[in-house]
Structure 1
Amino acid sequence: MEIKSNVTVIIPCYNDGKYIVEAVNSILNQTLKPEKIIIIDDGSNLETKMILKTISHEMISIVFQENQGVCKARNVGIDRATTDYILTLDADDYFEPTFIEKAVLVLNTNESIGVVGCLYKVIKGNITQKESVKPLGGTVKNFLVKNNGMACSLFRKNCWQEVSGYDEKMCKGYEDWEFWIAVLRNKWEMHIIQEDLFNYRMKPISRDTKALKDFDFELRQYIFLKHKPVFLEHYEFYALELLRINCNFRRKNNTLENSLNYEIGEILLFPLRLVKRLLQ
């Protein structure tokens, strides 16, 4: 008798035809299969649409919509899900085969856990980095200064319902960070499996890099104002963390300035030393 996982996997896809098959196969090859895989094509180009049309499996359904952003795509998919557990997966990333089995066990045995993530590896180009990324997880307090989770995680559908889904106003990025704060402030916790069970593809140009470069303050301000009560509840921790980060930044900046000054000095002195050597 096949064990039911009670999981629906939601995969938003926007112009990721190059990677979508690998993402889907990583779910089909899980030791514990999901009940359903819902791919939301968010207005992709023709090439990606053609690849999506070649994907055929009884477990998979594909929804085509005009481009409305990743939050809308996830919400559309999750709204269609009939299972208690939801796993989000970006179309250019993939899971190791045991993730669903191990993550479901956590949710099944601990009612205080709302979200399950894991350690993960970063792929740059075609090279998987040796170092693991180790998100902290835990309670909402751990998410006030930075995102201590991973976007692609397993969570209870009622966590999503409690916060009315992903915030579709966050079209410029950091939507996962805001979503985790919204969920965890309701006294849920995020558990991190201490194994590398996920692979995150880091592209030179992406929503994440653009958000950091162009919209970092705007997005942080939005998150702070939207969740101001929880920031105020932990104001001392929040303030001290910001002071610590600022001090570290100033220390590194000072070290860099001293190093640059030394290098510039060496460059300026080189001709004089050369002339002195020639005259000796």
Structure 2
Amino acid sequence: MRATVGVVVTGFDQGDLVREAVGSVLRQTRAPDQVVVVDDGSTDVRSLAVLDVLAADGGVQVLRQENAGVSAARNAGLSALGTDLAVVLDGDDRLAETFVERTAALLEEDADVVGASSWLRMHGVAHAIVRPAGGAAVDFLHRNASPATVMLRRDRWRAAGGYDERMRDGFEDWDFFLALLAAGGRIEIVPEPLIEYRTSPTSANVRSMDRRLELYGRLVDRHRPLFEEHLRAVLLAQEAASIARLDAWEQLVLDHPEVPLDDATYGDGGMAAVVRVATARAEAATPPARAVVPVPQD
């Protein structure tokens, strides 16, 4: 059975970027049945003008609220929809034309899929492809495994309690995914960059990294039963990430022999890495032994 699909675009003082986000929604190869824009208390003149144009257009419903944070804006938009499935999209990002088609198909084909997203294409101050892996609850305990832009089953969003509107400092999407997946199922990822993710040094995502340990600690406290149930898997996944980063550092230092080896971390494999690098450098600096050619005897 073909599901109905809605899209929620949230924004706050983002001017023409919201218009671009909505434009990307309206160009989808599978047209959404409903589009809602939730403005989270914008005050700048350009943003208000863009909202007026969108509201007058007729194909988009515009909701305005006092500034309450992105979680409250997402919940308001999702509540306003009457569809089976829903995409949440930040107002400074854009969707590739096949995002709705590809993600909706995953949810329609497999009842165990409770959410679907895709890889991201970063633009703005940084340009890269980001490849989140998705998965079940255990896969989200050591790191967030899905973009905030995601298609959801609205009944599962409601059953999970929605986005926590008290979380206004970051990680609200990660927190929601843990609540969503605690009841089972998985988030599937389309292995193509169908999200155009805008990067800026002042973005909320970048700012939240300054408080990453604190915010992650909150997630552990809020979802303690889930972390305790999968403690071994969480610790092994964290160690695997640490090993991968140390391997990347080791290769970088090997490629740049001018970097001094006068400091080493302890207890995480750092000393062994320095020994390997120093050994490789010494071997590279030692000229190969010259072969001794015997002198023929008369």
Q: Structure 2 length as normaliser, TM-score?
A: 0.80
Q: Percent identity?
A: 28
Q: Which runs of 5+ in 2 are unaligned?
A: 263-298
Equivalence for 1:168? 165
SS of the residue corresponding to residue 114 of structure 2 reads strand
Count of aligned pairs between the two proteins: 257
**In 1: Cα distance, 2:100 partner to 2:244 partner:** 38
Equivalence for 1:22? 20
1:238 to 234, 238, 242: 234
**In 2: Cα distance, 1:103 partner to 1:44 partner:** 30
Does 1:209 find its partner at 2:200? no
Mapped contact 2:2–2:108 kept (Cα < 8 A): no
**In 2: Cα distance, 1:240 partner to 1:73 partner:** 36
Equivalence for 2:123? 123
Computing the radius of gyration from Cα coordinates, the structure with the larger value is 2
**In 2: Cα distance, 1:29 partner to 1:5 partner:** 19
Equivalence for 1:266? none
Q: Which runs of 5+ in 1 are unaligned?
A: 264-280
TM alignment of 1:96-135, pairs within 5 A: 96-125=96-125, 129=127, 131-135=128-132
SS of the residue corresponding to residue 227 of structure 2 reads helix
**In 2: Cα distance, 1:222 partner to 1:262 partner:** 36
For residues 109-150 of structure 1, the C-alpha deviation after alignment (integer angstroms, 9 at most, x for no partner) is: 11110001111200124x7x3x42111011111111111101
Equivalence for 2:185? 188
**In 1: Cα distance, 2:143 partner to 2:3 partner:** 31
RMSD over aligned CA atoms reads 2.3
CA pair 20-4 structure 1, distance change in 2 beyond 3 A: farther
Q: Structure 1 length as normaliser, TM-score?
A: 0.85
Q: CA deviation at 1:251?
A: 6.4
TM alignment of 1:1-280, pairs within 5 A: 6-47=4-45, 48-55=47-54, 56-125=56-125, 129=127, 131-213=128-210, 215-248=211-244, 260-261=259-260
Query: Which residue type is aligned with residue 215 of structure 2?
Result: L
Query: Which residue type is aligned with residue 103 of structure 2?
Result: A
**In 2: Cα distance, 1:19 partner to 1:36 partner:** 20
- Which portions of structure 1, spanning 4 or more consecutive aligned residues, are displaced by more than 4 angstroms? 247-256
